[in-house]
Structure 1
Amino acid sequence: MLSILSEKNIYTYIHQRKLNSINKDNLHIEGHYELAIKDIVRLQEELKKPGLTTKEIAQQNSISVTTFNKYIKHALLS
Protein backbone atom coordinates (compact mmCIF):
# COMPACT_ATOMS: atom_id res chain seq x y z
CA MET A 1 0.00 0.00 0.00
CA LEU A 2 2.80 2.41 0.73
CA SER A 3 4.80 1.66 -2.41
CA ILE A 4 7.84 1.23 -0.22
CA LEU A 5 10.83 -0.26 -1.99
CA SER A 6 12.43 -1.98 0.97
CA GLU A 7 11.63 -3.49 4.34
CA LYS A 8 14.26 -1.16 5.79
CA ASN A 9 11.98 1.80 5.11
CA ILE A 10 9.14 0.12 7.00
CA TYR A 11 11.41 -0.55 9.99
CA THR A 12 12.57 3.06 9.85
CA TYR A 13 8.94 4.30 9.94
CA ILE A 14 8.24 1.99 12.89
CA HIS A 15 11.33 3.23 14.78
CA GLN A 16 10.36 6.85 14.01
CA ARG A 17 6.89 6.01 15.35
CA LYS A 18 5.28 6.97 12.04
CA LEU A 19 3.89 3.42 11.98
CA ASN A 20 2.84 1.51 15.08
CA SER A 21 2.86 -2.24 15.40
CA ILE A 22 -0.47 -3.55 16.72
CA ASN A 23 1.17 -6.77 17.92
CA LYS A 24 4.10 -5.28 19.87
CA ASP A 25 3.27 -7.39 22.95
CA ASN A 26 3.59 -10.61 20.92
CA LEU A 27 6.27 -9.48 18.48
CA HIS A 28 8.93 -11.71 20.02
CA ILE A 29 6.64 -14.73 19.59
CA GLU A 30 5.18 -13.97 16.16
CA GLY A 31 8.38 -12.57 14.64
CA HIS A 32 6.70 -9.99 12.41
CA TYR A 33 4.99 -6.63 12.62
CA GLU A 34 1.26 -6.23 12.13
CA LEU A 35 0.17 -2.76 11.08
CA ALA A 36 -3.25 -1.13 11.22
CA ILE A 37 -4.71 -0.08 7.87
CA LYS A 38 -5.65 3.34 9.31
CA ASP A 39 -1.98 3.97 10.21
CA ILE A 40 -0.87 2.97 6.71
CA VAL A 41 -3.46 5.28 5.11
CA ARG A 42 -2.40 8.13 7.43
CA LEU A 43 1.27 7.64 6.50
CA GLN A 44 0.35 7.53 2.80
CA GLU A 45 -1.19 10.98 3.16
CA GLU A 46 1.88 12.27 5.03
CA LEU A 47 4.22 10.98 2.32
CA LYS A 48 2.14 12.31 -0.56
CA LYS A 49 3.94 15.13 -2.28
CA PRO A 50 1.99 18.31 -2.95
CA GLY A 51 1.12 19.28 -6.50
CA LEU A 52 0.93 17.26 -9.68
CA THR A 53 3.43 14.91 -11.27
CA THR A 54 4.76 15.54 -14.77
CA LYS A 55 2.73 12.54 -15.92
CA GLU A 56 -0.49 14.03 -14.52
CA ILE A 57 0.18 17.41 -16.15
CA ALA A 58 1.01 15.78 -19.49
CA GLN A 59 -2.22 13.76 -19.36
CA GLN A 60 -4.26 16.86 -18.55
CA ASN A 61 -2.78 18.59 -21.59
CA SER A 62 -3.02 15.55 -23.90
CA ILE A 63 0.71 15.41 -24.55
CA SER A 64 3.33 12.78 -23.80
CA VAL A 65 5.53 12.98 -20.74
CA THR A 66 8.54 13.16 -23.06
CA THR A 67 7.11 16.21 -24.82
CA PHE A 68 6.29 17.86 -21.52
CA ASN A 69 9.85 17.25 -20.27
CA LYS A 70 11.19 18.84 -23.49
CA TYR A 71 9.01 21.89 -22.77
CA ILE A 72 10.51 22.10 -19.29
CA LYS A 73 14.07 21.68 -20.59
CA HIS A 74 13.66 24.40 -23.22
CA ALA A 75 11.68 26.73 -20.94
CA LEU A 76 8.68 26.74 -23.24
CA LEU A 77 6.10 26.88 -20.45
CA SER A 78 4.33 30.01 -19.36
Structure 2
Amino acid sequence: MTGNKKEFTLTSYKQLFESLYPQLCVFAFKYLNDLDISKDIVEEVFVKVWENQIDFQNEKQTTDYFYKAVKNECLDYLKTKLF
Protein backbone atom coordinates (compact mmCIF):
# COMPACT_ATOMS: atom_id res chain seq x y z
CA MET A 1 0.00 0.00 0.00
CA THR A 2 1.14 3.48 -0.71
CA GLY A 3 0.41 7.02 0.38
CA ASN A 4 -1.03 7.82 3.80
CA LYS A 5 -2.69 4.44 4.23
CA LYS A 6 -1.57 2.20 7.06
CA GLU A 7 -0.28 -1.27 6.38
CA PHE A 8 -3.06 -3.82 6.83
CA THR A 9 -1.43 -6.15 9.35
CA LEU A 10 -2.77 -8.86 11.60
CA THR A 11 -1.70 -6.84 14.65
CA SER A 12 -3.51 -3.68 13.55
CA TYR A 13 -6.55 -5.71 12.57
CA LYS A 14 -6.59 -7.45 15.96
CA GLN A 15 -6.50 -4.04 17.66
CA LEU A 16 -9.39 -2.88 15.48
CA PHE A 17 -11.35 -6.02 16.37
CA GLU A 18 -10.73 -5.58 20.09
CA SER A 19 -11.80 -1.94 20.01
CA LEU A 20 -14.98 -2.35 17.91
CA TYR A 21 -16.21 -5.86 18.66
CA PRO A 22 -17.97 -5.20 22.02
CA GLN A 23 -19.85 -2.12 20.83
CA LEU A 24 -20.80 -3.77 17.54
CA CYS A 25 -22.21 -6.76 19.41
CA VAL A 26 -24.38 -4.44 21.51
CA PHE A 27 -25.46 -2.65 18.33
CA ALA A 28 -26.40 -5.93 16.62
CA PHE A 29 -28.22 -7.11 19.74
CA LYS A 30 -30.57 -4.12 19.45
CA TYR A 31 -31.74 -5.52 16.12
CA LEU A 32 -31.69 -9.22 16.92
CA ASN A 33 -32.31 -9.57 20.65
CA ASP A 34 -30.04 -12.63 20.62
CA LEU A 35 -26.47 -12.25 21.88
CA ASP A 36 -25.05 -15.39 20.26
CA ILE A 37 -26.37 -14.51 16.82
CA SER A 38 -25.21 -10.92 17.30
CA LYS A 39 -21.68 -12.11 18.06
CA ASP A 40 -21.70 -14.43 15.04
CA ILE A 41 -22.78 -11.66 12.70
CA VAL A 42 -20.15 -9.23 13.98
CA GLU A 43 -17.46 -11.90 13.63
CA GLU A 44 -18.62 -12.65 10.07
CA VAL A 45 -18.29 -8.98 9.14
CA PHE A 46 -14.75 -8.87 10.52
CA VAL A 47 -13.83 -12.02 8.60
CA LYS A 48 -15.19 -10.58 5.35
CA VAL A 49 -13.23 -7.36 5.81
CA TRP A 50 -10.04 -9.31 6.54
CA GLU A 51 -10.50 -11.68 3.60
CA ASN A 52 -11.22 -8.83 1.20
CA GLN A 53 -8.43 -6.64 2.63
CA ILE A 54 -10.78 -3.66 2.60
CA ASP A 55 -8.81 -0.47 2.84
CA PHE A 56 -9.98 2.42 5.01
CA GLN A 57 -8.82 6.02 4.79
CA ASN A 58 -9.36 6.94 8.43
CA GLU A 59 -10.87 5.84 11.73
CA LYS A 60 -14.28 7.43 11.10
CA GLN A 61 -14.63 5.70 7.75
CA THR A 62 -13.65 2.41 9.36
CA THR A 63 -16.17 2.73 12.19
CA ASP A 64 -18.93 3.86 9.82
CA TYR A 65 -18.24 0.93 7.51
CA PHE A 66 -18.42 -1.65 10.30
CA TYR A 67 -21.65 -0.25 11.73
CA LYS A 68 -23.29 -0.17 8.32
CA ALA A 69 -22.10 -3.68 7.47
CA VAL A 70 -23.34 -5.09 10.80
CA LYS A 71 -26.69 -3.34 10.38
CA ASN A 72 -27.08 -4.77 6.87
CA GLU A 73 -26.16 -8.27 8.02
CA CYS A 74 -28.68 -8.02 10.87
CA LEU A 75 -31.42 -6.89 8.51
CA ASP A 76 -30.57 -9.70 6.09
CA TYR A 77 -30.72 -12.19 8.95
CA LEU A 78 -34.12 -10.85 10.06
CA LYS A 79 -35.44 -11.12 6.49
CA THR A 80 -34.54 -14.80 6.38
CA LYS A 81 -36.45 -15.35 9.63
CA LEU A 82 -39.60 -13.78 8.16
CA PHE A 83 -39.79 -16.09 5.15
Q: Which has the higher helix share?
A: 2
| TM-score, scaled relative to structure 1 | 0.30
Question: Greater CA radius of gyration, 1 or 2?
Answer: 1
> RCO greater where, 1 or 2, for CA within 8 Å and sep 6 or more?
2
